[in-house]
């Protein structure tokens, strides 16, 4: 089977093209966030503990989850000369970058005539894609536009690392990966990972926000955590929870599909291969998060920390296991 060199180049150019577009999106989102910040400053008396302050207006924009754009009443009121809708630019660039990203994945698969997740490079590119897709999907129904910058930063980092350190030529896969299970198992793992990572990013924002609140309350300098001052904690918590609730069954399915594949490929459905072990650990950690929210006194900060531990397990499985531990998962050769 020949690899179509033209398509390979197209795929590479599309992914290289998506990077600057995502960067523009990130900048636009950042400007939007900065405006919100000054707006919020005007709205909230200086020095007040703002745990609910800026959030209240945010919550008002989403009665019952009706599809609304991220209306920003306070900045409209406080910044009369608001000429540029930076957030809308951010979304537009994100969609554009997303389309190029998608095109790159499709052309790479078409070039080698196989599912385009046959090695670490392709896997990381696909997970970044899943995370951006998850963000865009949330955008349709939830007022999360201003979180764009926090999605773009890890996406750009992920793509950059993939291109710089993981890149391999498109080509055929080793025989172990020639199976329709790759479509099922790996796709599910990618979708779930994208959602989990999105939830992880939000979890970090929550922690920063709590710290910010704590510091303003104690009159200490807030430093970097100030970027979260206009975020709504309840909303963050809700989105993170929803992303995890969505991803968890998919992850469960991915692990089971992996077991089915392992049964076909390696002669046992479960063998505590490091990758299997860590996906199991990740699964348990997310299960613990879901349980912790049902346990009195754990909702909020503690459950967020569990969520982040789970996300760390997930990332360790994606990266650490490939780098530090060798197992049967053949795509792990960097």
Partner 1 sequence: MITWLRWAWRLLTSMRTALILLFLVALGSVPGSVLPQRGLTPEDVTKFYEENPGLAPWLDRFSMFDVFGAPWFAAIYLLLFVSLAGCVLPRAAQHYRAMRGRPPAAPRNLSRLPHTASVPGGTLALAEAELRRRRFRVNTGDGWVAAEKGYLRETGNLVFHLALLALLFAVGSGALFGYRGNVLVVEGDGFANTVAAYDKFSPGRFVDTESLKPFSFRLGDFTATYSTEPQRRGQPLDFSGKLSVREGGGQKTHDLRVNEPLEAGGAQVYLLGNGYAPTFRVTDGKGQVAFDGAVPFLPAEKGGFTSEGVIKVPDAQPAQLGFVGLFLPTTVTVGDSATSAFPAALNPTVRLFGFKGDLGLRSGAPQSVYQLNSDKMQMIKLPETRLAVGQSLTLPDGLGTVTFTGVKEWISLQITYDPGRFPALVSAALAVLGLVPALTVRRRRIWVRQTADGIDVGGLTRSEGGGGIEEEFESIVSSLRRSGEQESRELVKE
Does the protein bind partner 1 through residue 259 (CB under 8 A)? yes
# of chain residues touching partner 1 (CB under 8 A): 48
Draw the binding track, 47-76, toward ligand HEM (x: CB under 6 A; -: no contact).
------------------------------
**Considering beta carbons, is residue 2 or 81 the nearer one to partner 1?**
2
Question: Least distance in Å: CB of 169 to partner 1?
Answer: 5
- Output the DSSP codes for 12-79: HHHHHHHHHHHHHHHHHHHHHHHHHHHHHHHHS-TT---TTHHHHHHHHT-GGG-------HHHHHH-
Footprint of ligand HEM on 292-331 (CB under 6 A): 317, 328-331
**In this chain, which of 185, 209, 241, 293 binds ligand HEM, going by CB under 6 A?**
185
* Nearest in space to 251 (alpha carbons), one of 329, 194, 295: 194
C-alpha–C-alpha distance, residues 155 and 200, integer Å: 13
Are the CB atoms for 232 and 74 separated by under 8 Å? Answer: no
Footprint of ligand HEM on 125-184 (CB under 6 A): 176-177, 182
C-alpha–C-alpha distance, residues 29 and 145, integer Å: 8
- Output the DSSP codes for 129-185: HHHHHHHHHHHHHS--GGGHHHHHHHHHHHHHHIIIII-----PPPGGG-STHIIII
C-alpha–C-alpha distance, residues 9 and 73, integer Å: 46
C-alpha–C-alpha distance, residues 50 and 230, integer Å: 9
From partner 1, ligand HEM, none, which one binds at residue 119 (CB under 5 to 8 Å depending on kind)? Answer: ligand HEM
Contacts of 295 (CB under 8 A, 6+ apart): none
**Considering beta carbons, is residue 309 or 328 the nearer one to ligand HEM?**
328
Footprint of partner 1 on 165-194 (CB under 8 A): 169, 171-172, 174-176, 178-179, 181
Give SS3 for 92.
Answer: helix
* Nearest in space to 85 (alpha carbons), one of 146, 126, 143: 146
Q: For 57-76, b where at least 16 C-beta lie within 10 A, e where not — what string?
A: bbeebbeeeeeeebebebbe
Footprint of partner 1 on 271-310 (CB under 8 A): 271-274, 277-278, 280-281, 284-285, 287-288, 290-291, 293, 295
Tracing tokens 């909020």 back to the chain, one arrives at 300
# of chain residues touching ligand HEM (CB under 6 A): 27
C-alpha–C-alpha distance, residues 209 and 211, integer Å: 5
From ligand HEM, partner 1, none, which one binds at residue 284 (CB under 5 to 8 Å depending on kind)? Answer: partner 1
- The size of the chain, in residues, is 334
**In this chain, which of 270, 319, 320, 325 binds ligand HEM, going by CB under 6 A?**
270
C-alpha–C-alpha distance, residues 52 and 55, integer Å: 5
Does the protein bind ligand HEM through residue 259 (CB under 6 A)? yes
From ligand HEM, partner 1, none, which one binds at residue 117 (CB under 5 to 8 Å depending on kind)? Answer: ligand HEM
**Considering beta carbons, is residue 186 or 306 the nearer one to ligand HEM?**
186
**In this chain, which of 45, 47, 64, 297 binds partner 1, going by CB under 8 A?**
64
From ligand HEM, partner 1, none, which one binds at residue 260 (CB under 5 to 8 Å depending on kind)? Answer: partner 1
Does the protein bind ligand HEM through residue 19 (CB under 6 A)? no
| Site residues (vs partner 1, CB under 8 A) | 3, 64-65, 169, 171-172, 174-176, 178-179, 181, 241, 245, 248-249, 252-253, 256, 259-261, 263-274, 277-278, 280-281, 284-285, 287-288, 290-291, 293, 295, 321, 325
| Site residues (vs ligand HEM, CB under 6 A) | 117-119, 123, 176-177, 182, 185-186, 189, 255, 258-259, 261-262, 265-266, 270, 275-276, 279, 282, 317, 328-331
């Amino acid at each position: 089977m020949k690899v179509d060199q033209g398509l390979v180049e197209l795929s590479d150019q599309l992914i290289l093209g998506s990077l600057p577009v995502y960067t523009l999106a990130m900048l636009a989102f950042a400007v939007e966030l900065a405006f919100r910040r000054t707006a919020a400053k005007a709205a909230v008396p200086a020095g007040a503990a703002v745990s609910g302050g800026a959030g209240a207006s945010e919550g008002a924009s989403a009665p019952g989850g009706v599809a609304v754009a991220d209306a920003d009443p306070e900045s409209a009121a406080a910044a009369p000369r608001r000429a540029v809708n930076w957030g809308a630019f951010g979304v537009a660039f994100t969609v554009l970058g997303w389309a190029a990203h998608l095109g790159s994945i499709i052309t790479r698969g078409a070039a080698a005539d196989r599912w385009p997740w046959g090695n670490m490079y392709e896997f990381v590119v696909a997970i970044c894609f899943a995370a951006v897709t998850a963000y865009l999907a949330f955008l349709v129904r939830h007022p999360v536009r201003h979180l764009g910058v926090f999605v773009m930063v890890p996406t750009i980092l992920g793509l950059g690392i993939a291109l710089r350190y993981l890149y391999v030529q498109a080509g055929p896969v080793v025989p172990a990966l020639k199976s329709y299970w790759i479509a099922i198992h790996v796709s599910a793992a990618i979708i779930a990972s994208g959602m989990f990572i999105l939830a992880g990013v939000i979890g970090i924002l929550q922690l920063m926000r709590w710290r910010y609140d704590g510091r303003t309350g104690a009159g200490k300098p807030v430093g970097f955590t100030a970027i979260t001052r206009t975020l709504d904690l309840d909303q963050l918590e809700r989105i993170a929870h929803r992303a995890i609730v969505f991803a968890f069954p998919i992850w469960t399915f991915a692990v089971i599909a992996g077991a089915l594949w392992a049964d076909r490929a390696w002669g046992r459905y479960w063998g505590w291969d490091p990758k299997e072990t860590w996906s199991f650990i990740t699964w348990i950690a997310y299960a613990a998060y879901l349980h912790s929210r049902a346990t009195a006194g754990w909702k909020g900060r503690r459950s967020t920390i569990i969520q982040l531990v789970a996300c760390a397990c997930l990332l360790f499985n994606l990266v650490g296991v490939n780098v530090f531990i060798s197992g049967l998962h053949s795509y792990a050769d960097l």
